[in-house]
């Protein structure tokens, strides 16, 4: 054993301690701005889980990141609903930050592979589940790695698992009453706002360069986040893939957003109507909203799912290839 050093130990200055304290209070402040002092609305059990999640996420921001990991990091952070501790999957770029960031909102099937999620219910801080960072769907893994390889920190929040619905939902289940407490109108937008607050509080994220991406039900959620955000500071833009745009899916018939939106639709979508989405976009553009729409001929719902089955559909391969080229170009354009 080496003898104790006789040199003076470094003294942690009050300013250094204050900086770390401010990081935590900033996270709470962001959430309070989105949803009135949410901690006061919790019971003791929820408050304890909430504080544990915030502490773990805070500690994670203090750890250096040397290289990008093949498997995403699992993190926990509070939803802006004041009740739910969300689990999220973080894809980190190689090299030092701070980085721009993007939040990825899964669709009605949830974030996990359909090969693994059938028996999944709850996913959370102290729960062992087959639904985890190692069983994410191919599409979510592809996009998370896509963004991290291009210098973006990507966060995939799970809105379903923390609420006991990690199995997700099948096609044409929009009116299933079991989906009411994970809906895209009043529930999931608060998860996206919680994710924004979490990323803003991280020292390795450029707080003014956080973007949003969503698929299907997550695409509708992203549009509702834009409507809720309006002209307030928040997400810098949204990439929206084949969302539901009907009256039951959106908070308003026009997207009164203060930041740009890019919408990607398949002409042969068998689950949602690309025509209705184009009408929403036309009304929004008429009101001065910066929104761009790409419609891919012959492409179906989930056209960017890289599985062989989905890519066997005519039009999907070309649509996915083009979307992968356009996505980074669009977001980089928004950064300027």
Concatenate the DSSP letters of all residues of 117-151 into one string.
-TT-----TT---SSSGGGB-HHHHHHHHHHHHTT
In terms of pLDDT, which residue wins out, 90 or 65?
A: 90
Helix axes 44-61, 14-34, angle to 10 degrees: 130
Across the range 219-248, mean pLDDT stands at 97
* Mean pLDDT over the full length of the chain: 85
Supply the pLDDT for residue 53: 54
Across the range 275-281, mean pLDDT stands at 98
Is residue 32's pLDDT more than 60? no
Please report which confidence band the pLDDT of residue 70 belongs to, taking 50, 70 and 90 as the band edges: low
Strand partners, 291: 261
Pick from 151-155, 239-243, 255-259: least confident: 255-259
Across the range 172-185, mean pLDDT stands at 86
CATH superfamily membership of 14-335: Alpha/Beta hydrolase fold, catalytic domain (3.40.50.1820)
Across the range 103-127, mean pLDDT stands at 93
Whole-angstrom distance, CA of residue 178 vs CA of residue 145: 32
CA-nearest of 207, 204, 209 to 97 is: 204
Whole-angstrom distance, CA of residue 265 vs CA of residue 243: 8
Q: Tokens 């549009």 appear where?
A: 223
Supply the pLDDT for residue 47: 57
Pairing of strands 73-78, 153-158: unpaired
pTM of the model: 0.81
Supply the pLDDT for residue 50: 56
Of the chain, the percentage scoring pLDDT greater than 90 comes to 71
The DSSP line for 283-299 is: HHHHTT--EEEEEETT-
């Amino acid at each position: 054993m080496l003898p104790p050093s006789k040199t003076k130990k470094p003294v942690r200055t009050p300013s250094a301690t204050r900086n770390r304290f401010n990081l935590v209070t900033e996270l709470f402040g962001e959430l309070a701005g989105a949803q009135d002092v949410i901690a006061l609305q919790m019971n003791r059990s929820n408050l304890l889980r909430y504080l544990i999640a915030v502490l773990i996420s805070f500690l994670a921001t203090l750890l250096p990141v040397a290289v990008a990991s093949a498997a995403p990091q699992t993190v926990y952070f509070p939803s802006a609903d004041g009740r739910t501790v969300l689990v999220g999957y973080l894809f980190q770029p190689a090299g030092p930050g701070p980085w721009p960031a993007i939040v990825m909102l899964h669709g009605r099937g949830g974030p996990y592979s359909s090969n693994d999620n059938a028996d999944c219910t709850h996913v959370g801080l102290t729960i062992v589940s087959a639904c985890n960072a190692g069983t994410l769907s191919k599409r979510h893994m592809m996009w998370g790695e896509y963004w991290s390889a291009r210098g973006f920190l990507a966060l995939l929040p799970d809105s379903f698992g923390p609420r006991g619905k990690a199995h997700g939902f099948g096609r044409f289940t929009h009116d299933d009453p079991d989906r009411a407490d994970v809906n895209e109108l009043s529930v999931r937008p608060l998860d996206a706002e919680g994710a924004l607050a979490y990323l803003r509080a991280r020292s390795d994220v450029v707080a003014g360069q956080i973007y949003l991406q969503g698929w299907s039900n997550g695409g509708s959620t992203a549009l509702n986040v834009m409507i809720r955000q309006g002209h307030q500071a928040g997400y810098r833009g949204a990439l929206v893939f084949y969302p539901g745009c009907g009256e039951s899916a959106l908070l308003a018939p026009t997207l009164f957003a203060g930041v740009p939106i890019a919408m990607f639709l398949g002409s042969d979508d068998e689950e949602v109507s690309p025509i209705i989405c184009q009408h929403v976009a036309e009304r929004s553009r008429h009101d001065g909203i910066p929104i761009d729409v790409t419609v891919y001929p012959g492409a179906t719902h989930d056209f960017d799912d890289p599985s062989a089955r989905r890519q066997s559909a005519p039009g999907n391969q070309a649509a996915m290839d083009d979307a992968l080229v356009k996505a980074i170009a669009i977001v980089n354009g928004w950064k300027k």
